[in-house]
């Protein structure tokens, strides 16, 4: 059976006319009968090309301020009839319904209208009814009808009708139908999400997935769905991988905790900070962050909360690192960092991150609110006889910010606004602490007068005892254990300051 069909008639009803003219001219050149309404009809007429008003087909005018134009059996019959069905063919003749082989629709810009901050009345008027119905009807009947559902497909249509002299195969039409159903489902999801107030219902529709080289490992396929260009300006380097993107995500979330602080530099490996320091200059912050764990820093992701200058870039250039991220760079710094051809250099734009986090679990999804709480001095409740000094308080807040963004179970040790060491992703908090202490000693840090942060409460006093013996003199933790008094009593007996925040920061 020959499944190639030649377009002989087309209904065109679009919001945006960009790119439409060459299609209209090509269809006219191929003797295609054109039907249209409203502004699109005027557009075609102004090109000097004949067009049949839909009102002439339906014998009904556009009514209700344009809300009802194409919603009529003579329009939808022309789209939905099955050309190989004798009953349909007879009814087309009986009711004088013209055949429509091609439908071109561009929906009202609902999402753009919402994003513009328009009034609810204006937003409601941008809910397309006729257009979405035309899309679904033509896509359903792809065996006989061609559907173009967005401006993005105009160039594809023009190529098809030019190269195939107005003809389309069933494969062409089915592919266009799939794209059309994506347009309609995406549109409906946007409308639903505008109205929805039920957090137990989740609808997401994201277009433009980016194919990555592979997933976490070379045998896994990987994709990124999101607007990377809205978040970053890429200045240099190779394409980001799946693992790069996970590390970049962790880096951005971490540095945002220090957005308004003095110059701060962080180095991350496998989603966790291995070095972080706040100093008076970015160069000093970088060097002290690097000193926290120069071994793990190899091949890591680097991020700062301020401009990277040439002096800092010269120091960074001595290290092999995958990605460097900053809100800005001076020109010489870009030149220096670009000397390594594969190094990825990103400018972090000031954008708002999604307020919900989604991840797969079992045969479904887990959704939660973003952890937007950052511990600050006003949150601290001193529970010991010894209160932290001003310096210790600054270090406790500093450590807490890192702890919040480190895999649980975690312990963070800090001193003088420097990450000394952390224990990450351990099944026991005691193990996390021992790991941090051992790491600090490995890199020659003196833990005397350091502080400790924990992402969750201490059920026993063992952690504060171990930390005290290592030199820790102040502790920050959420509190909330039925045995809090055991840790508090130990701290009191050993003149260790401890504050509760009341907020747990698990990160699994």
Residues annotated as catalytic (active site), given as ranges: 140, 270
Residue 434 in 3-state DSSP? helix
CA angle 48/53/59 to nearest 5° reads 155
Instruction: Map 232-299 to HEC letters.
Output: EEEEECCCCCHHHHHHHHHHHHHHHHHCCCCCEEEEEECCEEEEEEECCCHHHHHHHHHHHCCCCCCC
- Please report the sign of the dihedral spanned by the C-alpha atoms of residue 196, residue 197, residue 198, residue 199: positive
Count the neighbouring beta carbons within 10 Å of the beta carbon of residue 126.
Answer: 18
Q: What is the residue whose two structure tokens read 């920061």?
A: 505
Q: Are 303 and 276 in contact (CB under 8 A)?
A: no
Residue 141 in 3-state DSSP? coil
Residue 52 in 3-state DSSP? strand
Q: What DSSP assignment string belongs to 59-87? A: T---BGGGTBSS-SHHHHHHHH--TT-HH
Distance, CA of 342 to CA of 193 (rounded, Å): 40
The residue among 257, 254, 302, 245 whose CA lies nearest residue 406 is 254
Phi then psi for residue 477, to 5 deg, are -155, 165
The residue among 351, 348, 312, 317 whose CA lies nearest residue 330 is 312
Which two tokens mark 155? 């160039």
Is cis: bond before 409, omega within 30 of 0?
A: yes
Q: Are 161 and 173 in contact (CB under 8 A)?
A: no
Distance, CA of 506 to CA of 503 (rounded, Å): 10
The number of C-alpha atoms within 13 Å of 309 and in the hemisphere containing its C-beta is 7
Q: Are 153 and 178 in contact (CB under 8 A)?
A: no
Distance, CA of 427 to CA of 435 (rounded, Å): 12
Distance, CA of 59 to CA of 38 (rounded, Å): 15
Q: What is the residue whose two structure tokens read 């880096």?
A: 251
């Amino acid at each position: 059976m020959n499944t190639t069909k030649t377009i002989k008639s087309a209904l065109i009803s679009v919001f945006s006319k960009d790119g439409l003219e060459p299609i209209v001219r090509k269809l006219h050149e191929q003797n295609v009968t054109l039907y249209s309404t409203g502004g699109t009809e005027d557009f075609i007429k102004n090109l000097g090309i004949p067009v049949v008003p839909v009102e002439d087909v339906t014998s009904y005018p556009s009514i209700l301020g344009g809300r009802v134009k194409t919603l009529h059996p003579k329009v939808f019959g022309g789209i939905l009839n099955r050309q190989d069905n004798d009953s349909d063919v007879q009814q087309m003749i009986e009711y004088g319904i013209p055949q429509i082989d091609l439908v071109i629709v561009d929906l009202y810009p609902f999402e753009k209208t919402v994003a513009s901050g328009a009034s609810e009345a204006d937003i409601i008027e941008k809910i397309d009814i006729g257009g979405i119905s035309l899309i679904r009807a033509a896509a359903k009947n792809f065996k006989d009808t061609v559907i173009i559902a967005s401006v993005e497909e105009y160039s594809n249509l023009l190529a098809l009708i030019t190269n195939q002299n107005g003809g389309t195969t069933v494969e062409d039409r089915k592919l266009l139908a799939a794209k059309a159903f994506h347009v309609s489902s995406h549109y409906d999801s946007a409308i639903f999400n505008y109205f929805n107030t039920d957090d137990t219902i989740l609808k997401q529709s994201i277009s433009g997935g980016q194919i990555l080289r592979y997933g976490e490992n070379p045998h896994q396929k990987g994709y990124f769905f999101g607007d990377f260009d809205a978040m970053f300006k890429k200045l240099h380097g190779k394409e980001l991988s799946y693992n790069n993107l996970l590390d970049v995500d962790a880096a951005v979330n971490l540095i945002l905790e220090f957005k308004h602080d003095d110059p701060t530099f962080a180095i991350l490996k496998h989603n966790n900070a291995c070095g972080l320091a706040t100093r008076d200059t970015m160069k000093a912050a970088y060097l002290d962050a690097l000193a926290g764990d120069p071994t793990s820093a190899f091949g890591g992701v680097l991020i700062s909360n301020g401009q990277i200058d040439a002096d800092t870039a010269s120091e960074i250039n001595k290290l092999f690192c995958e990605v460097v991220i900053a809100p800005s760079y001076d020109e010489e710094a870009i030149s220096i960092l670009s000397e390594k051809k594969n190094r990825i250099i990103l400018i972090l734009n000031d954008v708002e991150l999604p307020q919900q986090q989604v991840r797969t679990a079992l045969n479904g999804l887990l959704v939660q609110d973003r952890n937007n709480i950052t511990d600050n001095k006003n949150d601290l409740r001193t529970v010991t006889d010894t209160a932290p000094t001003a310096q210790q308080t600054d270090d406790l807040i500093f450590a807490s910010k890192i702890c919040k963004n480190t895999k649980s179970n975690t312990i963070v040790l800090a001193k003088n606004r420097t990450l000394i060491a952390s224990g990450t992703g351990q099944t026991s908090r005691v193990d996390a602490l021992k790991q941090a202490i051992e790491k600090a000693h490995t890199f020659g840090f003196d833990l005397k007068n350091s502080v400790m942060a924990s992402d969750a409460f201490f059920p026993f006093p063992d952690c504060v005892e171990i930390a005290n013996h290592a030199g820790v003199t102040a502790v920050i933790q959420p509190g909330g254990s039925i045995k809090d008094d055991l840790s508090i009593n130990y701290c009191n007996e050993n003149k260790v300051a401890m504050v509760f925040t009341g907020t747990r920061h698990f990160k699994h």
